[in-house]
Structure 1
Amino acid sequence: MSTQPGRVPFGVLTLDYPMSIGVFATYSEAQRAVDSLSDAGFPVQNCLIVGTDLRQLERVTGRLTWGRVLLGGALSGLWLGLFVGLIFSLFVTTQGGVPPVFSTMVFGAVFGAVWAAIGYAATRGKHDYTSVSRIVPSRFEVLAEHKVAQQARELLAKAGIVTAGPPTV
Protein backbone atom coordinates (compact mmCIF):
# COMPACT_ATOMS: atom_id res chain seq x y z
CA MET A 1 0.00 0.00 0.00
CA SER A 2 1.33 3.45 -0.80
CA THR A 3 0.65 6.65 1.03
CA GLN A 4 0.65 10.17 -0.30
CA PRO A 5 2.09 12.37 2.45
CA GLY A 6 1.64 16.11 2.25
CA ARG A 7 5.23 17.29 2.04
CA VAL A 8 8.12 14.88 1.80
CA PRO A 9 11.72 16.14 1.88
CA PHE A 10 13.49 15.46 -1.42
CA GLY A 11 16.21 13.48 0.37
CA VAL A 12 13.67 10.82 1.31
CA LEU A 13 13.09 10.16 -2.40
CA THR A 14 16.72 9.33 -3.19
CA LEU A 15 19.00 6.37 -2.62
CA ASP A 16 22.76 6.59 -2.00
CA TYR A 17 23.81 4.24 -4.81
CA PRO A 18 20.75 2.83 -6.56
CA MET A 19 20.87 -0.21 -8.82
CA SER A 20 18.12 -1.47 -11.07
CA ILE A 21 16.42 -4.66 -9.94
CA GLY A 22 13.76 -4.69 -12.63
CA VAL A 23 11.86 -2.77 -15.28
CA PHE A 24 8.08 -3.12 -15.60
CA ALA A 25 5.53 -2.03 -18.17
CA THR A 26 2.98 -0.78 -15.63
CA TYR A 27 3.02 0.82 -12.20
CA SER A 28 0.92 -2.01 -10.76
CA GLU A 29 3.54 -4.56 -11.88
CA ALA A 30 6.26 -2.53 -10.14
CA GLN A 31 4.08 -2.30 -7.02
CA ARG A 32 3.48 -6.05 -7.13
CA ALA A 33 7.26 -6.64 -7.24
CA VAL A 34 7.90 -4.40 -4.23
CA ASP A 35 4.97 -6.00 -2.40
CA SER A 36 6.48 -9.42 -3.07
CA LEU A 37 9.78 -8.22 -1.64
CA SER A 38 7.96 -6.92 1.43
CA ASP A 39 6.17 -10.24 1.92
CA ALA A 40 9.57 -11.99 1.82
CA GLY A 41 10.88 -9.77 4.62
CA PHE A 42 13.11 -7.65 2.37
CA PRO A 43 13.89 -4.13 3.71
CA VAL A 44 11.71 -2.30 1.18
CA GLN A 45 12.70 1.10 2.57
CA ASN A 46 15.76 0.57 0.34
CA CYS A 47 13.59 0.56 -2.81
CA LEU A 48 12.43 3.27 -5.15
CA ILE A 49 9.90 3.04 -8.00
CA VAL A 50 10.79 5.44 -10.81
CA GLY A 51 8.59 6.24 -13.81
CA THR A 52 10.86 6.63 -16.84
CA ASP A 53 10.59 7.59 -20.51
CA LEU A 54 8.09 10.36 -19.88
CA ARG A 55 5.71 11.45 -22.62
CA GLN A 56 2.98 14.05 -22.75
CA LEU A 57 -0.53 13.06 -23.75
CA GLU A 58 -3.03 15.72 -24.74
CA ARG A 59 -6.68 14.78 -25.13
CA VAL A 60 -8.64 17.27 -27.22
CA THR A 61 -12.02 17.72 -25.56
CA GLY A 62 -13.74 20.16 -27.87
CA ARG A 63 -13.72 23.19 -30.10
CA LEU A 64 -13.06 26.59 -28.54
CA THR A 65 -15.37 29.35 -29.75
CA TRP A 66 -15.87 32.98 -28.74
CA GLY A 67 -19.10 31.98 -27.00
CA ARG A 68 -17.39 29.35 -24.87
CA VAL A 69 -14.55 31.74 -24.03
CA LEU A 70 -16.89 34.54 -22.96
CA LEU A 71 -19.19 32.21 -21.02
CA GLY A 72 -16.28 30.55 -19.21
CA GLY A 73 -14.73 33.91 -18.35
CA ALA A 74 -18.07 35.31 -17.16
CA LEU A 75 -18.72 32.28 -14.93
CA SER A 76 -15.24 32.46 -13.42
CA GLY A 77 -15.68 36.17 -12.79
CA LEU A 78 -19.13 35.56 -11.33
CA TRP A 79 -17.68 33.19 -8.72
CA LEU A 80 -14.94 35.65 -7.85
CA GLY A 81 -17.53 38.43 -7.59
CA LEU A 82 -19.67 36.27 -5.31
CA PHE A 83 -16.71 35.68 -3.02
CA VAL A 84 -15.77 39.37 -2.91
CA GLY A 85 -19.42 40.33 -2.38
CA LEU A 86 -19.75 37.96 0.56
CA ILE A 87 -16.65 39.47 2.14
CA PHE A 88 -18.01 43.00 1.56
CA SER A 89 -21.39 42.07 3.02
CA LEU A 90 -19.69 41.24 6.31
CA PHE A 91 -18.48 44.81 6.68
CA VAL A 92 -20.94 46.96 4.71
CA THR A 93 -24.59 47.51 5.54
CA THR A 94 -26.94 48.81 2.87
CA GLN A 95 -30.06 50.88 3.26
CA GLY A 96 -32.27 49.90 0.34
CA GLY A 97 -30.51 49.59 -3.00
CA VAL A 98 -28.70 46.54 -4.28
CA PRO A 99 -26.76 44.44 -1.77
CA PRO A 100 -23.02 44.36 -2.48
CA VAL A 101 -23.16 40.64 -3.33
CA PHE A 102 -25.22 41.17 -6.47
CA SER A 103 -23.26 44.15 -7.74
CA THR A 104 -19.89 42.46 -7.23
CA MET A 105 -21.19 39.36 -9.03
CA VAL A 106 -22.18 41.47 -12.04
CA PHE A 107 -18.87 43.35 -12.05
CA GLY A 108 -17.00 40.05 -11.66
CA ALA A 109 -18.85 38.46 -14.58
CA VAL A 110 -18.15 41.42 -16.86
CA PHE A 111 -14.51 41.61 -15.80
CA GLY A 112 -14.08 37.83 -16.26
CA ALA A 113 -15.60 37.88 -19.75
CA VAL A 114 -13.44 40.83 -20.83
CA TRP A 115 -10.28 39.29 -19.40
CA ALA A 116 -11.00 35.93 -21.08
CA ALA A 117 -11.66 37.70 -24.39
CA ILE A 118 -8.32 39.51 -24.17
CA GLY A 119 -6.53 36.24 -23.45
CA TYR A 120 -8.26 34.40 -26.30
CA ALA A 121 -7.63 37.24 -28.76
CA ALA A 122 -3.94 37.16 -27.86
CA THR A 123 -3.65 33.56 -29.13
CA ARG A 124 -4.72 34.68 -32.63
CA GLY A 125 -6.43 31.36 -33.34
CA LYS A 126 -3.37 29.20 -32.68
CA HIS A 127 -5.12 27.11 -30.05
CA ASP A 128 -8.82 26.92 -30.98
CA TYR A 129 -9.62 23.85 -28.95
CA THR A 130 -9.97 22.77 -25.35
CA SER A 131 -7.87 19.93 -24.03
CA VAL A 132 -6.50 18.22 -20.97
CA SER A 133 -2.91 17.07 -20.84
CA ARG A 134 -0.99 14.68 -18.70
CA ILE A 135 2.59 13.50 -18.44
CA VAL A 136 2.86 9.72 -18.14
CA PRO A 137 5.82 7.34 -17.90
CA SER A 138 6.24 4.58 -20.48
CA ARG A 139 7.77 2.14 -18.01
CA PHE A 140 8.60 1.80 -14.33
CA GLU A 141 11.96 0.84 -12.94
CA VAL A 142 12.42 -0.52 -9.43
CA LEU A 143 15.71 0.51 -7.89
CA ALA A 144 17.34 -0.71 -4.68
CA GLU A 145 20.43 0.25 -2.72
CA HIS A 146 23.51 -1.47 -4.13
CA LYS A 147 24.05 -3.37 -0.87
CA VAL A 148 20.74 -5.22 -1.19
CA ALA A 149 20.09 -5.15 -4.95
CA GLN A 150 21.28 -8.70 -5.63
CA GLN A 151 19.19 -10.04 -2.75
CA ALA A 152 16.15 -8.27 -4.19
CA ARG A 153 16.75 -9.74 -7.66
CA GLU A 154 17.03 -13.24 -6.16
CA LEU A 155 13.82 -12.82 -4.16
CA LEU A 156 11.93 -11.63 -7.24
CA ALA A 157 13.23 -14.57 -9.28
CA LYS A 158 12.27 -16.97 -6.48
CA ALA A 159 8.75 -15.46 -6.44
CA GLY A 160 8.49 -15.97 -10.20
CA ILE A 161 8.28 -12.27 -10.99
CA VAL A 162 9.71 -11.63 -14.43
CA THR A 163 11.62 -8.39 -14.80
CA ALA A 164 12.82 -6.87 -18.03
CA GLY A 165 16.24 -6.43 -16.43
CA PRO A 166 18.26 -3.25 -16.31
CA PRO A 167 17.36 -0.69 -18.97
CA THR A 168 19.50 -0.50 -22.09
CA VAL A 169 20.81 2.89 -23.11
Structure 2
Amino acid sequence: MGRPTVTMASYPDYPSAQRAVDFLADNRFPVEHTAIIGTNLTLVETVLGRMTTVKAALAGAATGAWFGLFIGLLFGIFATANWFAVIIVALLIGAVWGAVFGAIAHAMTGGQRDFSSTSSLRAGQYAVTVDTDFADQARQLLTRMNWQAAPTAH
Protein backbone atom coordinates (compact mmCIF):
# COMPACT_ATOMS: atom_id res chain seq x y z
CA MET A 1 0.00 0.00 0.00
CA GLY A 2 1.10 3.61 -0.59
CA ARG A 3 2.42 6.13 1.87
CA PRO A 4 -0.08 8.24 3.85
CA THR A 5 -0.84 11.53 2.09
CA VAL A 6 -2.53 14.84 2.79
CA THR A 7 -4.56 16.84 0.25
CA MET A 8 -2.96 20.27 -0.04
CA ALA A 9 -5.43 21.89 -2.45
CA SER A 10 -8.10 21.12 -5.04
CA TYR A 11 -8.31 22.79 -8.44
CA PRO A 12 -11.05 22.93 -11.09
CA ASP A 13 -8.67 22.05 -13.94
CA TYR A 14 -5.45 20.15 -14.54
CA PRO A 15 -3.30 23.16 -15.56
CA SER A 16 -3.99 24.82 -12.19
CA ALA A 17 -2.92 21.69 -10.30
CA GLN A 18 0.11 21.40 -12.55
CA ARG A 19 1.06 25.03 -11.79
CA ALA A 20 0.95 24.27 -8.05
CA VAL A 21 3.27 21.28 -8.41
CA ASP A 22 5.52 23.29 -10.73
CA PHE A 23 5.70 26.04 -8.09
CA LEU A 24 6.74 23.43 -5.52
CA ALA A 25 9.41 22.13 -7.89
CA ASP A 26 10.69 25.66 -8.60
CA ASN A 27 11.11 26.12 -4.85
CA ARG A 28 13.19 22.96 -4.43
CA PHE A 29 10.38 20.93 -2.88
CA PRO A 30 10.90 17.15 -3.38
CA VAL A 31 8.02 16.75 -5.86
CA GLU A 32 8.50 12.98 -6.01
CA HIS A 33 6.41 13.06 -2.83
CA THR A 34 3.42 14.68 -4.57
CA ALA A 35 0.59 13.45 -6.75
CA ILE A 36 -2.16 15.04 -8.83
CA ILE A 37 -5.34 13.03 -8.41
CA GLY A 38 -8.34 13.56 -10.67
CA THR A 39 -11.72 12.86 -9.07
CA ASN A 40 -15.32 12.77 -10.34
CA LEU A 41 -14.21 11.15 -13.59
CA THR A 42 -16.35 11.37 -16.70
CA LEU A 43 -15.84 9.41 -19.91
CA VAL A 44 -16.28 11.70 -22.91
CA GLU A 45 -16.60 10.16 -26.36
CA THR A 46 -16.25 12.78 -29.08
CA VAL A 47 -17.84 11.70 -32.36
CA LEU A 48 -15.58 12.63 -35.26
CA GLY A 49 -17.89 11.71 -38.11
CA ARG A 50 -19.76 9.04 -40.01
CA MET A 51 -17.78 5.91 -40.80
CA THR A 52 -18.40 4.38 -44.21
CA THR A 53 -16.80 1.35 -45.79
CA VAL A 54 -14.74 3.69 -48.01
CA LYS A 55 -13.46 5.66 -45.00
CA ALA A 56 -12.68 2.41 -43.17
CA ALA A 57 -10.76 1.19 -46.22
CA LEU A 58 -8.81 4.46 -46.42
CA ALA A 59 -7.94 4.33 -42.72
CA GLY A 60 -6.88 0.70 -43.16
CA ALA A 61 -4.79 1.64 -46.19
CA ALA A 62 -2.97 4.32 -44.19
CA THR A 63 -2.24 1.90 -41.35
CA GLY A 64 -1.20 -0.81 -43.80
CA ALA A 65 1.07 1.61 -45.65
CA TRP A 66 2.94 2.43 -42.42
CA PHE A 67 3.32 -1.27 -41.65
CA GLY A 68 4.42 -1.93 -45.25
CA LEU A 69 6.97 0.87 -45.01
CA PHE A 70 8.38 -0.68 -41.84
CA ILE A 71 8.63 -4.13 -43.46
CA GLY A 72 10.05 -2.58 -46.62
CA LEU A 73 12.77 -0.83 -44.62
CA LEU A 74 13.66 -4.10 -42.90
CA PHE A 75 13.85 -5.99 -46.20
CA GLY A 76 15.51 -3.03 -47.90
CA ILE A 77 18.47 -3.29 -45.55
CA PHE A 78 19.27 -6.74 -46.92
CA ALA A 79 18.25 -6.16 -50.54
CA THR A 80 20.99 -6.68 -53.08
CA ALA A 81 18.91 -5.06 -55.84
CA ASN A 82 17.22 -1.66 -55.79
CA TRP A 83 16.37 -1.09 -52.11
CA PHE A 84 14.09 1.86 -52.98
CA ALA A 85 11.90 -0.45 -55.12
CA VAL A 86 11.66 -2.95 -52.25
CA ILE A 87 10.40 -0.22 -49.92
CA ILE A 88 7.83 1.10 -52.44
CA VAL A 89 6.48 -2.38 -53.23
CA ALA A 90 6.18 -3.25 -49.52
CA LEU A 91 4.41 0.06 -48.87
CA LEU A 92 1.92 -0.55 -51.69
CA ILE A 93 1.24 -4.14 -50.64
CA GLY A 94 0.70 -2.97 -47.05
CA ALA A 95 -1.71 -0.26 -48.20
CA VAL A 96 -3.76 -2.69 -50.32
CA TRP A 97 -4.02 -5.31 -47.59
CA GLY A 98 -4.79 -2.64 -45.00
CA ALA A 99 -7.60 -1.29 -47.17
CA VAL A 100 -9.04 -4.79 -47.68
CA PHE A 101 -8.94 -5.62 -43.97
CA GLY A 102 -10.29 -2.17 -43.00
CA ALA A 103 -13.26 -2.55 -45.32
CA ILE A 104 -13.97 -6.12 -44.20
CA ALA A 105 -13.73 -5.21 -40.51
CA HIS A 106 -16.19 -2.34 -40.97
CA ALA A 107 -18.59 -4.47 -43.02
CA MET A 108 -18.56 -7.16 -40.31
CA THR A 109 -19.96 -4.72 -37.73
CA GLY A 110 -23.28 -4.87 -39.60
CA GLY A 111 -23.96 -1.16 -39.16
CA GLN A 112 -23.67 -1.35 -35.36
CA ARG A 113 -21.00 1.34 -35.27
CA ASP A 114 -21.21 3.64 -38.28
CA PHE A 115 -19.21 6.47 -36.73
CA SER A 116 -15.65 7.13 -35.65
CA SER A 117 -14.81 8.70 -32.30
CA THR A 118 -12.16 9.31 -29.69
CA SER A 119 -12.59 8.71 -25.97
CA SER A 120 -11.06 10.61 -23.09
CA LEU A 121 -11.41 10.74 -19.33
CA ARG A 122 -12.06 14.11 -17.72
CA ALA A 123 -11.97 14.86 -14.03
CA GLY A 124 -14.33 17.21 -12.21
CA GLN A 125 -11.49 18.42 -10.01
CA TYR A 126 -7.82 17.77 -9.39
CA ALA A 127 -6.34 17.38 -5.92
CA VAL A 128 -2.66 17.93 -5.17
CA THR A 129 -1.58 15.51 -2.46
CA VAL A 130 1.70 15.33 -0.58
CA ASP A 131 3.21 12.61 1.61
CA THR A 132 2.35 13.36 5.24
CA ASP A 133 6.02 13.83 6.19
CA PHE A 134 6.30 16.76 3.74
CA ALA A 135 2.88 18.35 4.29
CA ASP A 136 4.03 21.30 6.43
CA GLN A 137 6.72 22.31 3.96
CA ALA A 138 4.29 22.05 1.01
CA ARG A 139 1.59 24.00 2.88
CA GLN A 140 4.01 26.87 3.55
CA LEU A 141 5.09 27.02 -0.09
CA LEU A 142 1.56 26.82 -1.48
CA THR A 143 0.42 29.55 0.92
CA ARG A 144 3.25 31.71 -0.43
CA MET A 145 2.17 30.87 -4.00
CA ASN A 146 -1.43 31.91 -3.27
CA TRP A 147 -0.23 35.09 -1.56
CA GLN A 148 1.93 35.98 -4.58
CA ALA A 149 -0.95 35.30 -6.98
CA ALA A 150 -3.46 37.42 -5.02
CA PRO A 151 -4.23 40.80 -6.63
CA THR A 152 -2.89 43.79 -4.78
CA ALA A 153 -5.28 46.42 -3.45
CA HIS A 154 -4.62 50.08 -4.20
TM-score (norm 2): 0.70
Q: Is the 8 A contact 2:53 2:107 kept in 1?
A: no
- 2:123 counterpart of 1:137: yes
Shifted more, 33-42 versus 63-72: the winner is 33-42
Q: Equivalent residue of 1:147, what SS? A: helix
Measured after TM superposition, the shift of residue 17 of structure 1 is: 0.8
Counterpart for residue 42 of structure 2:
55
- 2:72 counterpart of 1:72: no
Q: How many pairs are equivalent?
A: 145
RMSD, matched Cα: 3.2
Measured after TM superposition, the shift of residue 82 of structure 1 is: 3.5
Measured after TM superposition, the shift of residue 159 of structure 1 is: 5.1
Aligned equivalents of 1:49, 1:112: Cα separation in 2 = 40
Q: 2:99 aligns with which of 85, 92, 113?
A: 113
Unaligned segments of structure 2, at least 5 residues: 148-154
Measured after TM superposition, the shift of residue 39 of structure 1 is: 6.5
Measured after TM superposition, the shift of residue 154 of structure 1 is: 5.5
- Percent identity of equivalent pairs: 38
Which has a greater percent of helix? 2
Shifted more, 109-118 versus 143-152: the winner is 143-152
TM-score (norm 1): 0.65
Mapping 1:85-96, distance limit 5 Å: 85-93=72-80
Deviation string 1:99-145 (CA, Å, 9 cap, x unpaired) is: 54454344323311221122112222121111122122221111122
Deviation string 1:54-103 (CA, Å, 9 cap, x unpaired) is: 222221111111111112222332333343334334434569xxx54454
Unaligned segments of structure 1, at least 5 residues: 1-13, 162-169
